[in-house]
Structures are given as structure tokens and as C-alpha cells.
Amino acid sequence: MTNAVDQPVFKSWVPEWGIRIIIFLVMLPSLGLFGLSMANSTAAAGFYGIEPPDVQFTMIVFYAAVASFYSFETRLFSYIDIKNYLILSTGLELITSYVCYATKDPIVLTIFRFLQGLGSCAATSICITLIFNRLQTERAREIGYSVFYCILLIISQLTTLVTAPMLDAVDYSALYKGIIYLYLPGSMLLYLVLNNVRLEKRMPLYQLDWASFVLYAAAICLLGFVLIYGQQYYWFADARITGAAIASALLFALYGLRQRSLKRPYLSFKVFKYRNYCTGALLLFVLYLCRGSLNVTSLFFTAVLGLDPLHLGIVLMANMAGIIVGVMISSRMTLTKRPMRWITLSGFLLMLIFHVWMTQMFTVQANLDEFIVPLMLHGLGAGLLMVPVILFMISAVPPALGKSASGMGVLVRFCGFCSSLACINYFADHSKTQHYTRFLQNLTTDNVLWGQRTAAYAGALQSKGLSNDAAAKAANGLVAKGMSTQLQIRFSMEYYQWIAVILVILLIFIALYPYFKKTLINTGNNAPSAVGG
């Protein structure tokens, strides 16, 4: 066994373009698993016989596995040579994907989605290490980060677009079977072109901190449970939510106390002692709130405008285009050392424009072409912000805390993602209930508008041949459907107004915050792990 310093990582006959394609073939299905649960939550819920929040929770446990396994995975990666590590990670991904394909038990699905997250973390770590070991200059590394995070930003929309035609022909579980077929070619090719080397100095596996891993994973899984199911169970009025919240807080406290007694902490909370790291964490959290708000637009497209998943994916291509352009611009701005204040102001201002614009676009009838520009602006804002904010966070701490800063960055992303889902669930329930109650207060037997609308529907249906009784029942159903549509529109508008208020406050904070210049973005010495970003 030799180190990569003594022997090339790849076989000499493999061209550089071939190496890049093979790494991409391995990385794409690993990242695709992030968005698989959310590709079509209705189809997933129908196939497994569960509710949409249960589908969301399978995504949460996957994310929790990635967030908690990061530090542990780095120890395993330094000990095992890369070819054997590739076999282990690929084997875990294939086995878990097959179980997710074969089972219809939601408990088994949730458990193996967590294990799948561990495999995805390991596989992605291999790919990112191989990529960045070949990028020596600051420009090359910045471009590398931009490409990776660009893929991460568009993977959800891309998964929706790619899986939509498949779900018209096969059951939802077949998507996991497709992941297996995607994994095999790239993994086999990568194994063939790799030399038997170790990319990092070998560290023995003594004192593996299993306890910290279990505490951390359990704490964030319970946190995700509280945020996803809180509104469904009326938050702390339910014993399950209360118990999960208390258990999560206790586990985080035990984890923090344990880290203080360890010579080498699993992931240290000391990173939050640095002002600019906390500032970056705030920016990243709000960014994920804004990214999550795109789900409201997607729900509007499907519930109000009646788009199927395929056409939804096509419309969201405008958002993907914006992300790609935004990442390219942010990469250039970072390399030319543009002030962090201007980058963040530009990105969040675009987000604000999107949310304000969309409040005027939520109507019963709309031309899809009118949504292209605002969707591009949302993508442009996300692309501008993602890489600079993450690099700003990592650069704000000393090199000794780089691993912890990167790992805690995943926790911030996880919290932002879960909080976005929780806020959407809360506002959807609260807003719709509020407006529905107001509607019922004005609904009486002598309500003129109600009578006119039902009479118009009944008359139109009778002209098509329906009997009087059937037409009356159908007319009431059509009015109820129209009311449901209006409730969805009002919720969408109010949620975006709430996000817009948050963005205005954040923009004022960014404009007045005096410490941005104290952190210089560095892509060389203290660069983030792609998994940990």
C-alpha cells in the first residue's frame, strides 16, 4: 500500500476528461438520493401507504445521517485505502437502495434511508477528495466548489424533471432500482482506473467516538421529528412532540458536555465563539428558508394551475438556469475578491424581489411564461449566495477548527431545511384555517354570491345532461373546490410576504454589519469539505 504522493491516484492511461466523467457518474446518484424522497411526495406517500409528512421525515433522517456521519467518516476514510472504501460505500448504497425498492414497510424504509445517508456521505467524500486533490490553484479549487454546490442546488429540480416520466410508467419504488443501475457503471469504472493508494495519512481506528456519533445523530433526528410533525400533532399539546423536544435538548446537552471533556472533539461547538462564523450561519439559515419557499411555488403550480410533475420540472428549468448563472457569477466575484457585503446584498436582494414579485403572481389563471423571470431570479440569488457564504463561514475560524466548522455547516443547513418545511406546514394550516373560518362566518342560506355561483354551476351542468339533484351536488363540490383554490392562493401570498419581511430585516443587518472585512475568504488552507458545507 502506497500513498498518493509516491504513486499516481489513477492509472496512467486514463485521460483527464475520462477521470472527470467517471467521478461525475459516481457522484450524481449519491447526490440524487437527497432529492429522491421529494421528487414526488404524493407518489411516494401513495406507494408506501403513508402521509406526506412521513415522506418528508424519510428525507430528514437521510439528511441527519449525512450531518452526523461527517466527522466519523473522515476517520474511516483515512484508515481504509480508497479502493476498498469505494467497495464498502458502493455496497452500502446498493444494499440500502434495494431494500428501499423491495419494502413497503415505512419503518424499514426510514431505517434504511438513514443507512443510505451514511453510504451517500462516504461515496460523496471519495469523489470530492479525488476532485480536490487534483486542483492545486486557488482558481481551480474555487471553480471546483462552485461546480459541486451548483449540482447540489439543482439536484432537487433535476430529480423532479428526470423521474416524472418514469413515475408515469412504474411504481415509485422503481426509482431506487434506477439508482442501483446508475451506481454500478460509475463505481465499476472508478474501481478499474484507481491505483491501490491511500489519499491521506493512515490513522488507526482506536478511540473511535461512537458515543458522540450516536448522541449527535439521535439529537438531530429527534429535532427533525419535532419540526416535521409539530404542526400535525399541535406542537407541545402532544406528548410525542414534547417528549421528542425534551429528549433532543438533553441529547444535545450531553453531546456538548462530552465534547468539552474530549481531547479531539467529534464536532466542536467552539466555532460559534467566532462572530463571523455565527453571521455566516445566520445567512446560510435564511438562505435555506428562501430555498425552501420554492416548494410553495411548486405547490401552487400543481394544486392551483394543475401542472403534472413533468411540466413542473420543465418550468423549474428556469430556476436551474438561474442557479447555474448565479454560481458562475459568484465564483468570479470570489476570485476577484469582491466585498462579501456586496455579494450577500446582491443575492438576498434578488431573493426579496422574487418573493415580492410572486405575491402578485398567485392567481387562479396565469400564463406560465410569466413565471420564468422570477424563477430565474430566485435561482440567481441562490447561486450567488451558496458558495461565498459557506467559504465565509469556514474562513472565519482557525484552521484547527476547520473540520468542526464544516460539520456544523451541515447542521445549519439541516436546521434551515427542516425549519422551512415546519414553517410551510404551520402557515399552510394556520392561514387556511383562518380564511376558511372567515368564509364560514359569511356563509348563510341567504348569501347572494353563494346562491348565484351554485346556480350558475348547476345550470351549466344541467345543460350537459345532469339531473337537477346531481347538478346541485356537483355545483356545491365545484364551489368547495374553488374555495380550496383561493385558500391555497392566500396562504402562498401570506407566506411569501412573511419571508419578504425577514429578508428586509436581513438586508438592513448586512448593510450595517461592520465586521465583514475581518474575514478573508480562503479556498486553500482551510477549505470546506463538500459534504460538510
The string of DSSP letters for 103-120 reads ---HHHHHHHHHHHHHHH
Banded pLDDT at 528 (limits 50, 70, 90): very low
pLDDT(203) > 90: no
Mean pLDDT across the stretch 395-403? 80
Comparing 438 with 501, the larger pLDDT belongs to: 501
Q: Is residue 272 part of a domain?
A: no
The alpha carbon torsion through 254, 260, 262, 264 (nearest 10 deg) reads: 110
Same domain? For 124 and 233 the reply is no
CA dist 486 → 134, 364, 421, 489 (Å): 54, 8, 21, 5
Q: Is residue 300 part of a domain?
A: no
Mean pLDDT across the stretch 248-253? 91
Same domain? For 43 and 129 the reply is yes
Query: Strand 2-3 relative to strand 197-198: parallel, antiparallel, unpaired?
Result: parallel
Q: Is residue 195 part of a domain?
A: yes
Same domain? For 148 and 244 the reply is no
Residue 194, beta-bridge partner list = 10
Comparing 469 with 241, the larger pLDDT belongs to: 241
Which of 324, 391, 323 lies closest to 354, judged by CA?
Answer: 323
Give the per-residue pLDDT at 518. Answer: 60
Neighbours of 515 (CB within 10 A): 10
Give the per-residue pLDDT at 135. Answer: 67
In tens, the pLDDT along 338-384 reads 888 888 899 999 999 999 998 888 887 778 888 899 999 999 999 99
pLDDT(155) > 70: yes
Mean pLDDT across the stretch 20-28? 84
Same domain? For 217 and 200 the reply is no
What radius of gyration do the chain's Cα atoms show? 25
pLDDT(180) > 60: yes
Domain count, the chain: 3
Banded pLDDT at 533 (limits 50, 70, 90): very low
Q: Report how far apart the first and last C-alpha atoms of the chain are (Å, whole number).
A: 31
In tens, the pLDDT along 461-502 reads 556 666 666 666 666 666 666 677 777 788 888 899 999 999
Same domain? For 129 and 17 the reply is yes
Same domain? For 200 and 216 the reply is no
Residue 10, beta-bridge partner list = 194
Give the per-residue pLDDT at 205. Answer: 64
Question: Can you tell me the distance from the alpha carbon of 466 to that of 475, in angstroms, rounded to the nearest whole number?
Answer: 11
Same domain? For 16 and 141 the reply is yes
Banded pLDDT at 225 (limits 50, 70, 90): very high
Mean pLDDT across the stretch 157-166? 82
Same domain? For 117 and 38 the reply is yes
Q: Is residue 371 part of a domain?
A: no
Quote the mean pLDDT of the chain: 81
Residue 486 belongs to domain spanning: 433-495
Identify the three-state secondary structure at position 529: coil
Question: Can you tell me the distance from the alpha carbon of 175 to that of 284, in angstroms, rounded to the nearest whole number?
Answer: 31
Question: Can you tell me the distance from the alpha carbon of 121 to that of 138, in angstroms, rounded to the nearest whole number?
Answer: 25
Same domain? For 149 and 42 the reply is yes
Comparing 87 with 39, the larger pLDDT belongs to: 87
Percent of the chain with pLDDT over 90: 13
Which residue, 179, 204, 229, sits at the end of a domain?
204
Q: Is residue 409 part of a domain?
A: no
Same domain? For 147 and 70 the reply is yes
Helices (H), 5-81: 16-36, 41-48, 52-79
Helices (H), 304-398: 309-315, 317-335, 340-359, 372-395
Q: Is residue 174 part of a domain?
A: yes
Same domain? For 79 and 124 the reply is yes
Q: Is residue 395 part of a domain?
A: no
Encoded amino acid at 148, one letter: F
Give the per-residue pLDDT at 527. Answer: 45
Neighbours of 533 (CB within 10 A): 25
Same domain? For 112 and 181 the reply is yes
* pTM of the predicted structure, to 2 decimals: 0.86
Q: Is residue 356 part of a domain?
A: no
Question: Can you tell me the distance from the alpha carbon of 490 to that of 512, in angstroms, rounded to the nearest whole number?
Answer: 34
Mean pLDDT across the stretch 312-319? 88
In tens, the pLDDT along 256-293 reads 888 887 777 777 788 888 888 888 899 999 999 998 88
pLDDT(516) > 60: yes
Name the percent of the chain in helix, strand, coil, to the closest 5: 80, 0, 20
Mean pLDDT across the stretch 22-38? 80
